[in-house]
Amino acid sequence: MVNPTAKQAQIRDMTELSLMVVAPAGCGKTEALALRVAGILARGQVSSPRRVLVVTFSKKARDNIRERLADYVDARTLREKVTIANLHGLAARIIRSHGNVIGISPDVLMPDSDWVAAECRALRLGYDRTDEVRSVLQRVKLQSLNDDEVLEMIRALGDPIAETIETKRQQERRLTYEDLPRLAELVLQSPWVAEIYNQHFGCVVVDEFQDLTLQQLRMLKSIGSDRITFAGDLAQGIYTFAGAAPSAVHESIRGDSKAQISFAESHRSSPSVLDLVNVLRDQTGGEELVCAKPERWTSGGLGAVQSFADVEKEAEWVSRFARYVLKRAPQHRVGVIARTVGRRRFVDELMRVGDLPWHRWDDPLLDRETAIVTQRILSKLKLEQWESAENPIQYLLSMGDAGTIQDPDASKSLREAMEWAHDELVRGTEIEELRGRVKIGDRSAFTTSPGVHLLSGHAGKGQQFDWVCVVGAEEGVLPFFKAKSSEELAEEARTLSVMISRARHGALVLHAKSVPDNSGRVRGKEESRYSRQLRASPSCLTGADLVSWLSNADWAAIAAS
């Protein structure tokens, strides 16, 4: 339990149940939501048999808020008066309980894996074609359509593979993760079902509103009506590729909410890091942030932009920077983050042959037995046999004697490992490299380990590092070359803002003037428009000033914080 800040206490004590909380990264949002639920219960605004519904996007976020709530609400009250669910779990619950009102069979198969991806692999679709098929299915299913209407629209779009996969799904009476909110919304269109949920839940608390699709927003409004607390930050809306509509959702919530509270103090980042985040506000739509305790940060922290002639020099500099930091602060974590995994590969290669502790977030973490089997499969795998196999995933599994595994969890773990190996092989990754990337461990220990962490901007959302190096701040990479519309460009700025805001002590935005493409041809690159903007920050360092800061910093104080 912590002493709440003034804003957290205001959120706890707000009696209006229709509330929008604007909470940028590092401002204490999770604690504020836990306090909010505790305050609602303490005031008796939701009393038995009604409950408070808390909705998150992931199991990790669900577990985090449950842990925070346990500090403020006793176990019995938490058990009897609070329901905590992620969005897909909530949708599945609605379908299981009331799917019959729209003709869903009680024995429908609920999703437990990425079935669409598995079907694409079985059809031997390449990476780009798989992405096209998934995009078609996602776009169609974000609309309020029944199964017949879904098939009709897919046919109209003229994608025969998407149609084949959707037809098979319906014939097998199974659901994918994309089907869950679509069908839950249809179920909730029944007035008597919506009333059941309205009566059961006295209010709803929603975490990370900027990640909602409009479909999910409609689903939640059917349940909570005008008794919803939405918490999030438009500046962290970076999931439109998954169907999120951050600007539209933000406008809808802002128009409907009867009260609004905005955080402005960051407890995570140094003043210099926050200065970089604030420079991008015009593009991201975020709040102007201030450091809650500027005196705790040595020299105000570090914000910098640096240019390099080529990607090799950029990667070498990152490696030297990480070595310099970790020698002086061995327990620190240096996040090396890129808009795309491919643009980060030059740093990855240096880490692989160097002696620094490093962790690659793109790879799965396997239990020991699965890792041993995966290593054994990869050690004897012949590419030509894998390429000619009728079902390449099944071929890999057969090499590990998957049919003899009795434990369903172990079987699922091995299948996920083989799907990862398959996808990497399709991308052209060498078998020996894959073997070196098989990691054993648990996620929580992995994400908090000291050393260098290699990840993408989207994977880093919700995480924090002591230092962040953003590599690849070039036009065509960040913003991504496919981003054309104003909203797409705004999301690219948000992606950079999210990457920078992962940092505690310092954030460095780096770019190279020449970058090899996928064929190896070296192409000239212009510095990202966003990187050029960052240079306008009064605290942004570069060149000799950056080196001077690193040389003169009080590393004993930095290492201790």
Q: pLDDT, tens digit, for every residue of 303-330?
A: 999 999 999 999 999 999 999 999 999 9
Burial 330-355 (b: 16+ CB within 10 A, else e): eebbbbbbbbebebbbbbbebbeeee
196 plus 80 within the same structural domain: yes
Residues 12 and 60 grouped into a single domain: yes
pLDDT at 131 (0 to 100)? 92
Q: Based on the domain organization, do 428 and 474 belong to the same domain?
A: no
- Is 305 contained in some domain? yes
More confident call, 501 vs 371: 501
Mean pLDDT of 260-275: 95
Looking at residue 443, what is its pLDDT? 65
Has residue 401 been placed in a domain? yes
Supply the pLDDT for residue 153. 97
Q: Which of 53-67, 261-275, 318-332, 492-506 has the lowest mean pLDDT?
A: 53-67
Q: Which residue has the higher pLDDT, 298 or 262?
A: 262
User: pLDDT category, 347, cuts 50, 70, 90?
Assistant: very high
Q: Is the same domain home to 335 and 455?
A: yes
Same domain? For 353 and 455 the reply is: yes
pLDDT at position 415 is: 86
Amino acid 247: pLDDT: 94
Same domain assignment for residues 48 and 80:
yes
Question: pLDDT confidence of 434, banded at 50, 70, 90?
Answer: confident
Q: What is the pLDDT of residue 1?
A: 62
Buried-state track 144-176, b at ≥16 Cβ within 10 A, e below 16 = ebebeebbebbeeeebebbbebbeebeeeeebb
Structural domain span for residue 61: 6-91+185-263
Model confidence at 486: pLDDT above 80: yes
The verdict on residue 214 lying in a domain is yes
Greatest mean pLDDT among 276-285, 400-409, 412-421 lies in 276-285
Is it true that the peptide bond before 49 is cis, omega within 30 degrees of 0? yes
pLDDT (mean) for 459-468: 91
Alpha carbon of 37 to those of 24, 50, 54, 197, 201: distances in Å?
Answer: 20, 13, 8, 18, 13
549 and 454: one domain? Answer: yes
Comparing C-alpha atoms, which of 33, 58, 87 is closest to residue 216?
87
Report yes or no on 96 lying in a domain.
no
**Does 464 share its domain with 555?**
yes
Same structural domain for residues 346 and 426?
no
One domain for residues 468 and 521: yes
Residue identified by tokens 């690659």 is 360
Tell me the chain's radius of gyration from C-alpha atoms.
25
pLDDT mean across residues, the chain: 93
pLDDT at 394 over 70: yes
Of the candidates 376, 363, 387, the residue with the CA atom closest to the CA atom of residue 438: 363
Decide if 227 is inside a domain. yes
Q: Where are the alpha helices (DSSP H) in 381-442?
A: 383-388, 392-399, 408-426, 431-436
What is the total count of domains within the chain? 4
SS3 439: strand
Inter-residue contact 124 to 391 (CB < 8 Å): no
Mean pLDDT of 204-215: 97
For 521-539, letters b (16+ CB in 10 Å) and e give: eeeebebbebbebbeebeb
**Euclidean distance between the first and the last CA atom of the chain, given in angstroms as a whole number:** 21
CA pair distance 559, 551, nearest whole angstrom? 14
Domain finish residue from 437, 471, 495: 437
Q: What is the pLDDT of residue 444?
A: 64
Q: Using 50, 70 and 90 to split pLDDT, how confident is the model at 433?
A: confident
User: By C-alpha distance, which of 19, 177, 151, 152 is closest to 86?
Assistant: 177
Same domain, 354 and 458: yes
Amino acid residing at 521: R
In-domain check, residue 442:
no
In a domain, 106, yes or no: no
Contact assessment for residue 207 and residue 57, using Cβ atoms and an 8 Å cutoff: yes
- Where is the domain boundary, 437, 460, 485? 437
Choose one of 211, 230, 263: the last residue of a domain.
263
355 and 456 share one domain:
yes
In a domain, 277, yes or no: yes
CATH number of the CATH domain containing 255? 3.40.50.300
488-491, Cβ contacts within 8 angstroms, sequence gap of 24 or more: 488/240, 489/283, 490/247, 490/283, 490/284, 490/285, 491/237, 491/238, 491/240, 491/246
> Does the pLDDT value for residue 65 go beyond 80?
yes
CA distance 460 to 456: 6
* Confidence band, pLDDT 50/70/90 cuts, at residue 75: very high
Residues 117 and 131: beta-carbon distance below 8 Å: no
Measured between alpha carbons, how far is 411 from 370 in angstroms, rounded to an integer? 9
Dihedral in degrees, nearest 10, Cα atoms 314, 320, 325, 331: 100
Query: What does the longest C-alpha to C-alpha distance in the chain come to?
Result: 69
Give the mean pLDDT of 167-179: 96
Of 442, 440, 459, 470, the C-alpha closest to 334 is: 470
Six token digits for residue 1: 């339990």
- Between 366 and 385, the more confident residue is 385
**DSSP annotation string for 191-203:** HHHHHHHHHHEEE
